[in-house]
Structure 1
Amino acid sequence: MATDHAKPPSASDAVLEMYAAINRADSAAVAEMIAEDVVYEDLHIFEEPMRGRAEVMNFLNKFWENCGTKLNFILDGITTNDPTCCGIMWHMEHKGDHFPCSKGCSFYKFENRNGKLKLVYGRDVMEPVHKHGLGGLEAIKGVLDRHESC
Structure 2
Amino acid sequence: MATNRAKPQSPSEAVLEMYAAFNRADPATVAEIIAEDVVYEDLHIFEAPMRGRAEAMNFFNKFWENCGTKLHFIVDGITTNDPTCCGVMWHMEHKGSHFPYSKGCSFYKFENTNGKLKLVYGRDVMEPAKKHGLGGLGAIKGVLDQHES
- Partners of 1:123 and 1:89 in 2: CA distance: 12
Moved over 6 A (4+): none
- The residue aligned with 1:22 is 22
User: Is 1:95 aligned to residue 95 of structure 2?
Assistant: yes
CA distance in 2, matches of 1:129, 1:8: 38
Instruction: Tell me which residue corresponds to 2:84.
Output: 84
Counterpart secondary structure, 2:45:
coil
Contact kept? 2:38, 2:52, Cα under 8 Å: yes
Question: What is the CA–CA distance in structure 1 between the aligned matches of 2:111 and 2:143, rounded to whole Å?
Answer: 39
**Residue 142 of structure 1 aligns with which residue?**
142
Offset at 1:23? Answer: 0.3
Tell me, in whole angstroms, the C-alpha distance in 2 between the residues paired with 1:74 and 1:134.
Answer: 29
- If the length of structure 1 is used for normalisation, what is the TM-score? 0.94
> In 1, distance between residues paired with 2:146 and 2:109?
37
How many residues are paired up?
Answer: 145
Matching residue of 1:131: 131
Structure 2, gaps ≥5 residues long: none
Structure 1: gaps (5+ residues): none
Identity %: 86
Cα deviation for residue 84 of structure 1 reads 1.2
Letter in 1 for 2:24: R
Q: Which residue of 1 aligns with 2:66?
A: 66
Q: 2-side partners of 1:147 and 1:106: how far apart?
A: 30
CA deviation after TM superposition for structure 1 residue 146, in Å:
1.2
Rounded to whole Å, the distance in 2 between the matches of 1:70 and 1:34 is: 23
**What's the counterpart of residue 10 of structure 1?**
10
**Secondary structure at the counterpart of residue 133 of structure 2:** coil
The one-character-per-residue Cα deviations of 1:123-145 (angstroms, maximum 9, x if unpaired) are 00000000000000000111111
TM-score, with length taken from structure 2: 0.95
Aligned position for 1:117: 117
- Indicate the SS of the match to 1:83: coil
Residue 51 of structure 2 corresponds to 51
